[in-house]
Every structure is written in C-alpha cells, then in structure tokens.
C-alpha cells in the first residue's frame, strides 16, 4: 500500500494512540474531520494495523520481571511443531511466541512477578513442554519501542 506524508503521520499517531479521534488527528495535520476519517478508514481497510495493544504499567500490576527466552527443540520430527506451539501458547505468562530461524527455533517473551516466580514458570511450565531442548534466558533491563520507518 502506498502512503503519502500525511498517511505516514497518521500511522505514526495511531500507533501511539489508537483511540485518537479523526477530528483531533485532522486538526493536528490540517485536515477536515471527514477527510481524516476517510484516510484512517483507507489505512484500516488496507490492513495497515494488525491489532491494538493496551499499554500497561507492568510494575504497577506487580509484574517486575520480563524475560526473553530462546528455545531450541530437542527432538525435531518426533514432536510436532503444532504440539509445542499449542502447549507454549497456553502458558499465561508467555506473552509472545515467534517461530524463528537461526540459533533457536522459538523466541518467547515471558512476564513474571519476580525472579523466583520466573524460576517456577521456567521449571514447571517451559522445561516440561513437549520436545523442548536448549533454553537460553535473558532478563530485560530496559526496553524502548521505536516508531519505525514512517518518514
């Protein structure tokens, strides 16, 4: 989908606040409310947004630890990828599961209340997954999300 400068500014604004109104965004960008609404509708219809995420203060909710895990499957071929994916996706503390190519087969993002809580998730839930092999854990110290190539 081709975007002009105004579209890119709209995508950028909506990626920060999906609940922003067409009127407010239009005023920022010098568009009338209907013109802005039509552009937003075109972006949505074009599949530019795959969803939305509620931005939460995890610390305030008692989730002090985020860990990225690299998981290598030990017994490829014997355990189906679908079985592993279904089981790992069912773990509530696992936020993101990505099938990747490289040093690992899967990349996971896991939240926990603290390090002992993380150890419980790792031992009882992750290490017992069907076919799981080598697991590498890295505790997140800081995180920053960037707007991406939107001009």
Beta bridge partners of 146: none
User: Under the criterion CB under 8 A, does residue 41 sit at the interface with another protein?
Assistant: no
Cβ distance to another protein smaller for residue 53 or 78: 53
User: Under the criterion CB under 8 A, does residue 55 sit at the interface with another protein?
Assistant: yes
Angle between helices 33-45 and 22-29 (to 10 degrees): 110
Indicate which single residue of 30, 77, 78, 92 sits in contact with another protein (rule: CB under 8 A). 92
User: Under the criterion CB under 8 A, does residue 101 sit at the interface with another protein?
Assistant: yes
Angle between helices 5-16 and 22-29 (to 10 degrees): 130
Query: What is the torsional sign of CA 37, 146, 60, 138?
Result: positive
User: Under the criterion CB under 8 A, does residue 140 sit at the interface with another protein?
Assistant: yes
CB atoms within 10 A of CB 111: 19
User: Under the criterion CB under 8 A, does residue 78 sit at the interface with another protein?
Assistant: no
Indicate which single residue of 73, 94, 126, 132 sits in contact with another protein (rule: CB under 8 A). 94
User: Under the criterion CB under 8 A, does residue 143 sit at the interface with another protein?
Assistant: yes
């Amino acid at each position: 989908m081709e975007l002009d400068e105004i579209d890119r500014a709209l995508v950028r604004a909506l990626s920060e606040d999906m609940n922003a109104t067409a009127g407010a965004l239009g005023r920022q960008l010098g568009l009338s409310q209907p013109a802005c609404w039509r552009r937003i509708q075109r972006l949505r219809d074009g599949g530019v947004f795959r969803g939305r995420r509620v931005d939460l203060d995890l610390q305030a909710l008692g989730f002090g630890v985020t860990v990225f895990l690299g998981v290598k499957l030990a017994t490829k071929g014997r355990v189906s990828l679908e079985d592993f994916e279904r089981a790992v996706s069912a773990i509530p503390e696992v936020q993101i599961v990505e099938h990747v190519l490289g040093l690992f087969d899967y990349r996971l993002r896991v939240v926990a209340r603290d390090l002992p809580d993380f150890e419980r998730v790792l031992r009882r839930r992750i290490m017992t997954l069907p076919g799981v092999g080598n697991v590498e854990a890295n505790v997140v110290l800081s995180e920053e999300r960037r707007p991406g190539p939107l001009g």
